[in-house]
Chains A and B, each alone.
Chain A
Amino acid sequence: MKRLLPLLTGLVLLLTACGREDLSTLNPQGPVAEKQFELMKLSIGIMALVVVVVFAICIYVLIRFRRKQGDKAIPEQVEGNHKLEVIWTVIPIVLLLILGVPTIQHVFGLAKDYSKDKDAVQVKVTAHQYWWEFEYTDYGITTAQDLIVPTGKKISFELAAADVKHSFWIPSIGGKMDTNPGSTNRMFLEFPKEGVFRGKCAELCGPSHALMDFKAKAVSQESFDRWVAAMKAPAVMPADAELAEKFTSQCLSCHAVGENGGNSAPNLTGIGGRETVGGFLFNDEGGGVEQHLKDWITDPQGIKKGAMMPGAEDTGLTEEEIAGIAKYLAEYKLDY
């Protein structure tokens, strides 16, 4: 036992600070993920103990009791041993109690409902094949793909799906919750630190399930307030009238910018300032936001199979128009 403890502590230490800060469950960046990580460490510790004991007995037995060549001896036929059997029934029960109590605590702790809390930010998450819609019910604004949240506040989520079942997950901030079609789930998360955290869809939802990423961007309260104001400001339309008309007729039937347009596709307000196009084409990599938008508008199916958006062949947009729209959208950034 004396030798085991340092081994186990070492193992647990090894687990901490493991993986990317914005992605790993082993590198928690918020209280929810921290509580879950504590439980994980506790259970890994207990379980490592069990594994070590079993392995030790196993190895000992295999070395000690090998049959020698030609050995005809018949070992004693032991029926059992009550004392031993009681021991290996009781010890696991004790170990499970140690794990069970905090489990129950956290099950209820993490299920707290902040939907009526005036201090919490209310966000309604709607999952679509293959994108995320975030509606801030208190502010009357809607955005997509980049979830913007203030630090230091409880964020109370109301989760649902528009088509098939998805699952909302930001590993380094907290565990996942499914978005079910036809019913709502609630959960809360907290973001104590500013930064961009990677979010993922965790439930098989079709051919592009793997690409259904999103980003959670935690900013200061002041910055968040500026963002809300910018989102509410009148929409900026393309300067060129002809392009604006094309944009309105071709894009805004489903998408929206500011107060204009529909809501069956991702809201595009300030899309130029987002982390990615399509949830996974990082704008600080590759050709940058304008190129990504151009590629996306030309052939969404080629980038994300099964996406609802029609490609250039169907929309009839010319290369020139696509370039114009991409440029306009890339430059559409919110100041916050």
Chain B
Amino acid sequence: MAAAHAHGHKVKRYSGLMDWLTTVDHKKIGILYFIAGFFFFLIGGLEAIIIRIQLLKPMNDVVAGDTFNELITMHGTTMIFLAAMPLLFALMNAVIPLQIGARDVAFPFLNSLGFWTFFFGGVLLNLSWFAGAVPDAGWTSYVPLAGSIYSSGHGVDYYVLGLQIAGIGTLLGGINFMATIINMRAPGLTFMRLPMFTWAIFITSALIVFAFPALTVGLVALMFDRLFNANFFDVANGGNGVLWEHIFWVFGHPEVYILILPAFGIISEVVSTFSRKRLFGYSSMVFATVLIAFLGFMVWAHHMFTTGLGPVANGLFSIATMLIAVPTGVKIFNWLFTLWGGSIRFTTANLFAIGFIPTFVMGGVTGVMLASAPADYQYHDTYFVVAHFHYVIVGGLILGIFAGLHYWWPKMFGRILNETLGKITFWTFFIGFHLTFFVQHFLGLLGMPRRVYTYLGGQGYDDMNFISTIGAILMGIGTIVFLINIFVTWAKPRNASNDPWEDGRSLEWTIPSPPPEYNFKQTPLVRGYDAWWKEKMEGKTAMTPAEPVGSIHMPSPSILPFIMSVGLFIAGFGFMYDQLIVAGVGLAITLGCMVVRSLVDDHGFHIEPEEQDKGVQA
């Protein structure tokens, strides 16, 4: 104890806004990720609504072709990188350390840096709307359309630099969570006892670590092409445009699994909790997750069947892609048989989880259809593909995120979301979703290409586009109800118990909602899979501690991550507008912070047992 005091020192504690800017607490960073991610989700949703209004009727002229291309580009980019990923990071941050019985992530400072780089990258990208130069080459930004000749404004520069900066944050997050899950599990929590969500995040983190560098390299090459007249992708000077497609999809396909695996994890937790049953076939679930991740790196060229790679490549990638259906099918049936024989409670979280299963199956089977290359020559770049990936991403990932948010909300905020409003959210969003995207399969089969800002009348597209737009508006209403729910719940007292669903199975349900700053007063001893459930079934009311009550070491808050990200943000603008001095100043700020961080020792601080009894709230 005395030794702990010796290098513990009094730390400056901030409050109010400064607290949020300097926090390194994973729970607060989770909330920051949620706020930012949901804000970008609303922006991306608004863009989607404008897109659907433009396509409401043939030859509509709400927006022109160039604006439309800006909308689809920003909608895709925002939803994938600035809404879906951060919302997942919100749940990862809020839940993973709690599920493994840890007091924080492995690198709390890095965690904060990851959030702020993502945030400033996202802000940079969206400032393009105010700069009047918006990326418009699609979220895939195929060259040469995204090259400097055909996109001569600064639009695509915003895409390149915004994603580059935001991508740093994602990569840091991936490294951090991998390290956390490997190193910080509570005693007894072996890998094969990890909750399914933790497993999913572990595999996702590994995917991030391997996939994001490909995007980074691609973006650097595109940035050099655009800003410094390099020729990586310029055919006229010996470059190759198809190279960009490969680089993008070598990142892009694993990205799909980076998005969906956490959703699989969430569904596993929610379904198991609300059917009061152990997850069916746990070890096959783990194996299926690993296999999906592995195969996910072998199938990128199925996005390029019509690029002209030849029959050998197309055949191999067809078969490899189809193989992914097998482990995915295993997962689907495991969920169904988790429900089978259970005692199913239809909370909002569980409605979203149960809605996920058939919806995701529909997205999955169209995925297998797309895997058949000769048939894909017909589907490719049509509304069939649009329907498919929205079934997977919205019907899979977003339903999963909604399930997770409703499920873990009490753990994050200490209040259960209003169930009535929650159910309204579910039904409007769910029905709206199927209205919007089911008909789009047929639009594609009837010959409507994707990314078209308008279509001629009399081609059989009119009615289905109308239905699709109505559905999109319903989804918008569902989202607004969720927003209202947040505010309504906010006004209620913080009274959620440790285990508010009463059927909690994993460690996060053994500590207060929201948990104290240090999470676990005493690190718990884990005696099996579904650690908390096991104790409950044996009549215990708390976990067996693995250590005596003692002084808890905590990391100090720091403003440096915020300043470093501001530095990158400034540098991004400098590069874009060819003001190398500004770029230099920005980089100097970031590097300066790194120097400060390296030279100034910060040993953190300790929370003594007396303080713990007072209850230090997060």
Contact = CB atoms under 8 A, between A and B. Distances in A.
Contacts of B65: 206-211, 305-306
B445 to A, nearest CB: 5
Contacts of B68: 207
A111 B310 CA distance: 7
Contact-size category for B: 35 or more
B600 to A, nearest CB: 50
A202 B315 contact: no
Given A75-B342, A84-B333, A176 B455 contact: no
Nearest to A72: B343
Given A40-B369, A67-B343, A76-B341, A174 B310 contact: no
A75 B276 contact: yes
A85 B281 contact: yes
A54 B336 contact: yes
A226 interface: no
Interface string B337-354: 101111111100000001
A18 B445 CA distance: 9
Interface in A78-113: 78-81, 84-85, 88-89, 92-93, 96, 99-100, 103-104, 106-111
A103 to B, nearest CB: 4
Interface in A316-336: none
Nearest to B67: A207
A85 B287 CA distance: 12
Given A61-B340, A96-B326, A206-B150, A80 B280 contact: yes
A165 interface: yes
Contact of A58 (B310, B336, B372): B336
A35 B513 CA distance: 59
B412 to A, nearest CB: 25
Given A78-B280, A107-B318, A88 B445 contact: no
A1 interface: no
Contact of B357 (A35, A54, A66): A54
Contact of B66 (A46, A78, A81, A207): A207
A78 B449 contact: no
B294 interface: no
Interface in B231-282: 235-236, 240-242, 275-278, 280-282
Nearest to A280: B456
Interface string A145-182: 00000000000000100011101010110111110111
A202 B138 contact: no
A40 B374 CA distance: 9
Interface in B593-610: none
Interface in A32-70: 33, 35-37, 39-40, 43-44, 46-47, 50-51, 54-55, 57-58, 61-62, 65-67
Given A165-B142, A176-B306, A75 B277 contact: yes
B235 A89 contact: no
Instruction: Tell me which of A26, A79, A92, A186 has the highest count of chain B C-beta atoms within 10 A of its own C-beta.
Output: A92
B369 A44 contact: yes
A203 B319 CA distance: 25
B421 interface: no
Interface in A97-152: 99-100, 103-104, 106-111, 129
Interface residues of A, number: 92
A55 B333 CA distance: 11
B460 A24 contact: yes
A230 interface: no
Contacts of A163: 144, 150
Interface in B339-395: 339-346, 354, 357-358, 361-362, 365-366, 368-369, 371-378, 380-382
A216 to B, nearest CB: 13
Interface in B415-456: 442, 445-447, 449-456
Interface string B306-334: 11101100110011001101100110111
A308 interface: no
Which of B69, B284, B377 has the most CB atoms of chain A within a 10 A radius of its CB?
Answer: B377
A181 B235 CA distance: 7
B64 interface: yes
A110 B66 contact: no
B560 interface: no
B145 interface: yes
A177 B306 contact: yes
Nearest to B137: A204
B353 to A, nearest CB: 12
A101 to B, nearest CB: 10
A180 B307 contact: yes
A92 B326 CA distance: 6
B308 A202 contact: no
A15 B460 CA distance: 14
Given A107-B373, A207-B69, A65 B318 contact: no
Contacts of A315: none
Contact of A96 (B277, B323, B375): B323
A163 B150 CA distance: 8
Nearest to A68: B343
Nearest to A48: B365
Given A24-B446, A80-B281, A110-B377, A204 B318 contact: no
6 contacts: A24-B447, A47-B366, A54-B332, A74-B537, A88-B330, A305-B65
Given A19-B447, A88-B330, A211-B454, 19 more contacts: A24-B447, A40-B445, A51-B358, A54-B336, A61-B344, A62-B344, A79-B280, A89-B329, A108-B315, A175-B376, A175-B380, A180-B241, A181-B235, A182-B240, A202-B381, A206-B69, A207-B136, A209-B452, A280-B456
The 7 closest A-B pairs by CB, nearest first: A175-B377, A182-B235, A210-B452, A185-B308, A207-B65, A47-B365, A106-B374
Interface of B: 64-66, 68-69, 136-138, 142, 144-145, 150, 235-236, 240-242, 275-278, 280-284, 306-308, 310-311, 314-315, 318-319, 322-323, 325-326, 329-330, 332-334, 336-337, 339-346, 354, 357-358, 361-362, 365-366, 368-369, 371-378, 380-382, 442, 445-447, 449-456, 459-460, 537
